Structure 1
């Protein structure tokens, strides 16, 4: 496994001198090698995946035949090791044939860069002075005392990345959401997620908000719907407080707007949203938007807003296949403390195909009937409980 098997570069966590020595002696060679490797990988995978997972990566150290690749967060570590290890190894061996294995380690790019500059600008014998300087350095994330608006209480804590079931239909969308959380305002801004009703868009939006709030309680997060935004705007106009309304929105670090398609046709709302969007974007504040259709398909949407939406990352959430529906249904049932046999899971998933929300509604109906009758959820009972729902689904599929 090697001494970095835990996935965190020891220097970053424990402050050992090992990494400083490597920076001073070999980092230039590592950088040149990694640039060549990235050039090969970029030709083999999609641009979106390359930007998401390989940004801020580098070789930390080559130890014998093992390469340790530094990544900025645990999400990138998991994906590079599980999804792209073969690509990385193939590219590494093209330029360094002796390489046999690789794994990833989470590191702090800012800390490593600062240490590299320290080593290059100070004599090696000045260890004591460097230690003193490091201890006296100002801590990160000191509150500035600037005023903050209250986070809008529309986040539901039960929506997280951990309980979001991933399949081929939503894999890229979830990856993009993870990437946004790791570097707000810089990787994909805006992030535009679209898909039909009930496929998990709101779950992803809520997961972003909950994750950021957990990681940094100082961040100001606003999660709202386009309809609620419109209502607030109308009230602000009536109360002659439009300037305060815009100022409050322009203070946020993360703005999440659900169902943005309902802005279509509302000229005044679109105008004010455009100004808020521009202000946040110019300050590198993150904007995440969802819709039931891509920007180009939203009729009566102002062209300047459409252009802004299309200037970021657009990902879709499609229909889950049978295996994913089974997995989602099982997860939802277990969350409710309810057990379904494999037979019942498959029956429900085969007959309810439209969207996840309808599948969850069917589950709630089955649970209610089982509780009422004090019976186990056999396939016969489930068929009776869901007869009308299944009949309607069959009509829609014809």
Structure 2
């Protein structure tokens, strides 16, 4: 058997697969695959473990063979295999999309890994490290807490709960924690998984009568990194399993890191017992990056990728793409691709032309008081009619005051009009609310981040 044809094609095949499935599915089930042999019309592809192999065989075999056949010009059969030397859960961590680990706690002196093998096979993004993370005012505390957790897992902030809008760096910091832990202790059992994948693995284990294996593997890691825990909301059986997994790890002083687009108290239909546990440790909000941070992020990306682009262009992109880091980097990649294809140097004029759709060339509709109320209603899970009501519970009063603040500071509406819309309240009530929210923002960095995130949603 020879590997040269497959080696030549594999990167192209992976890119084809990336276009056929979601990014999460690609990273979870296709990126970890390793081609090991090629013969005539058959390709052998190695999976990290038998659990993984069964899932790919059942759900993605046809997708794999279709991509292989397309790029090889003839039908190709895909044979899935497992390196049995690395599939023993008693010897090595493997990741079911980042979800399986060997049992036992951290020994005082870690047992040596098998020759040539690592006992950690988590699928962390190599680009997501602390060195590549550009820290800004809105992410300073999250960055510091993540470093602290990576240096002493299970001893301080447990769980660490990072929350904030989409594309602000939560997943980056989570992967960075995993990398840092493994750098300090290559034998550490680090498990990264999304909440959705946790649910999928649970369902699959039930279907295959492997619940004991599932529980053993999830509850015997040193560091559990769970992305997007808000996905658990409303899924009773998954919450039940995650509750017991959380308890098992917490009681053994194993580190748990969670991310979400909102804090625990704002996740609807999340069981109270899980909500309270998520709040046991440290909760940190990541706010959208300010202009200076956006410029720094772009310059870091430019330096890393060896892109030639003027400071003028960088500042133009940073000033116009304000919502999140993902869109910021996406704009730079789009500009770089265009310059490469046209063999032209990147100029400010090119940036304006190529990114016109991204940068919203035409003025967008101005935000209204109704928009502010909708944003607050969604964030605090409070019906709009309650914001207008006379009820004054603590949570409702805070949501109403934030809405008034946004209506004044972001929308620019007069105090009298805001008062009328919010249930015919006096303008002095609105003035008091605005002052109170501003004072709370000045004294509470977390709350300031929440309000800034709401402001961004109104953009």
TM-score, structure 2 length as denominator?
0.54
Query: Secondary structure of 2:155's partner?
Result: coil
Q: Which of 214, 236, 239 matches 2:183?
A: 214
**Paired residue for 1:366?**
335
Q: Which of 206, 214, 222 matches 1:245?
A: 214
Distance 1:303 1:328, change over 3 A: same
**Paired residue for 2:356?**
387
> Gaps (5+ residues) in structure 1?
1-138
Q: Which of 288, 292, 315 matches 2:257?
A: 288
Give the conservation status (yes or no) of the 8 Å contact 2:153–2:255: yes
| Cα distance in 1 between the residues matched to 2:297 and 2:260 | 22
Distance 1:142 1:372, change over 3 A: closer
Give the conservation status (yes or no) of the 8 Å contact 2:339–2:346: yes
Give the conservation status (yes or no) of the 8 Å contact 2:119–2:186: no
TM-fit CA distance, 1:392: 7.0
Tell me whether 1:141 sits opposite 2:77 in the alignment: no
Give the conservation status (yes or no) of the 8 Å contact 2:195–2:229: yes
Distance 1:353 1:227, change over 3 A: same
TM-fit CA distance, 1:153: 3.3
Describe the superposition over 1:96-129 as per-residue Cα deviations: whole angstroms up to 9, x where unpaired. xxxxxxxxxxxxxxxxxxxxxxxxxxxxxxxxxx
Q: Which of 289, 296, 300 matches 1:331?
A: 300
Describe the superposition over 1:129-165 as per-residue Cα deviations: whole angstroms up to 9, x where unpaired. xxxxxxxxxx9624299xxx96453201111101110
Distance 1:142 1:238, change over 3 A: closer
Query: Secondary structure of 1:290's partner?
Result: strand
Q: Which of 256, 262, 276 matches 1:307?
A: 276
Distance 1:338 1:394, change over 3 A: farther
**Paired residue for 1:35?**
none
Describe the superposition over 1:226-284 as per-residue Cα deviations: whole angstroms up to 9, x where unpaired. 01111000001111211210111111000000011101111000000000100000000
**Paired residue for 2:41?**
none
What root-mean-square deviation, in Å, do the aligned CA atoms of Structure 1 and Structure 2 show? 2.1
**Paired residue for 2:129?**
160
TM-fit CA distance, 1:313: 0.4
| Cα distance in 1 between the residues matched to 2:188 and 2:110 | 13
| Cα distance in 1 between the residues matched to 2:121 and 2:111 | 21
Give the conservation status (yes or no) of the 8 Å contact 1:261–1:291: yes
| Cα distance in 2 between the residues matched to 1:195 and 1:367 | 28
Distance 1:352 1:210, change over 3 A: same
**Paired residue for 1:177?**
146
Give the conservation status (yes or no) of the 8 Å contact 2:120–2:186: no
TM-fit CA distance, 1:197: 0.2
Distance 1:333 1:234, change over 3 A: same
Count the aligned residue pairs.
Answer: 258
**Paired residue for 1:297?**
266
TM-fit CA distance, 1:188: 0.3
Q: Which of 287, 292, 317 matches 2:286?
A: 317
| Cα distance in 1 between the residues matched to 2:282 and 2:119 | 28
Tell me whether 1:193 sits opposite 2:162 in the alignment: yes
Q: Moved runs in structure 1, 4+ residues, more than 6 A?
A: none
Tell me whether 1:259 sits opposite 2:222 in the alignment: no
| Cα distance in 1 between the residues matched to 2:192 and 2:362 | 33
Matches within 5 A, 1:77-156: 141-143=109-111, 151=120, 153-156=122-125
